[in-house]
Amino acid sequence: MDSINVTQIAQMIDISAVRTDADLDEIKRVIEAARRHRFICAFAMPCFTRVLKEGLKDEPDILVGGVVGFPSGADTTRIKVETAKELVETGVNELDMVINVGALKSGEYDYVKQDIAAVVNTACGLPVKAILEVAYLTDDEIRRACGLAVEAGVSYIKTGTGWANKPTTVDTIRLIRDTVGTSVAIKAAGGVRTLDTLLEMVEAGCSRFGIGINSAEKIIEEAKTRGGNTI
C-alpha cells in the first residue's frame, strides 16, 4: 500500500454519535472533533441532525450525514422515504440507510431492491450508502444484498450500523469488493477501533469508515504517534 498521511486518514472517517444513549453533549464533542481533525463527515441520529448541521454550518468542507431506517432497517418504505425527505430538507450531504434485513433473509428480493431505490430516488442525487448489517448475513446473502443495492443505485455499500455484536472483518471487505468490483465504494462500520484494522481494510478496498468519536480520535492520535504525517 502507498503511504498515507494523517490528513488522508481523517478524510476517510465519518465520525458518529449514533448510539441509543448519545446525548447533546456527545453531539457537541462530535462537532468539536470534526473541526479539530477535519473528518470528512459527521453523523448523528435524526433527532440531532439539525443540531449537527447548525454546529458545522461554517465548515463547508465537513459534510453532515443522515441515517435512515436506523438501526433495524425494518421501517416501512414510506417511513424511510419520509425520513430521507426530512433529512434532505435539513441539508444533509449524504444518507446512510439500513436495508430491510428481514426481507432479504426471507427471499423478498424485489421488496429489498425497491425499498433501497425509493430512498435513492428521494435523495435528490445525494450519495446513498446501503447498510447491509453483515453480522446477520451469510456470505451468499451479502453477495445478494450487494447486487440488489448496486441495481438500486447506491453509491456505497456499508457493512453495518455498529449496533451488532460482531465486528466487520477484513475478509468481509474483500468479499464485498470481489462482488461489486469498482461499481460502488465501500464503507466499513462496526469494530473499526485501531489504525491497523483501518489500514488493512483500505488495502482490501475500503475507502470510508463509520467510527464512533472515541475510537476515531484514538486512531488519529495513533497515526500521529506512529508515523508523524506518514503511515
Torsional sign, CA 49, 68, 182, 210: positive
Pairing type for strands 94-98 and 63-68 reads parallel
Question: What predicted TM-score, i.e. pTM, was given to this entire model?
Answer: 0.95
Q: What is the pLDDT of residues 50-102, one digit of tens each?
A: 999 999 999 999 999 999 999 999 999 999 999 999 999 999 999 999 999 99
pLDDT tens profile 96-146: 999 999 999 999 999 999 999 999 999 999 999 999 999 999 999 999 999
Cross-strand bridge partners of residue 158: 131, 187
Distance of CA 55 to the CA centre of its chain: 20
Calpha distance 161→159 (Å, rounded): 7
- What domains, with CATH codes, occur in the chain? 6-227 (3.20.20.70)
From 53, 80, 129, 187, the catalytic residue: 187
158 in active site: yes
Q: Which of 53, 113, 129, 158 is catalytic?
A: 158
Is 187 among the residues known to form the active site? yes
**Per-residue pLDDT tens digits for 170-223:** 999 999 999 999 999 999 999 899 999 999 999 999 999 999 999 999 999 999
Average pLDDT over residues 42-47: 97
Among the options 14, 75, 96, 115, which is catalytic?
96
218 in active site: no
Percent of the chain with pLDDT over 90: 94
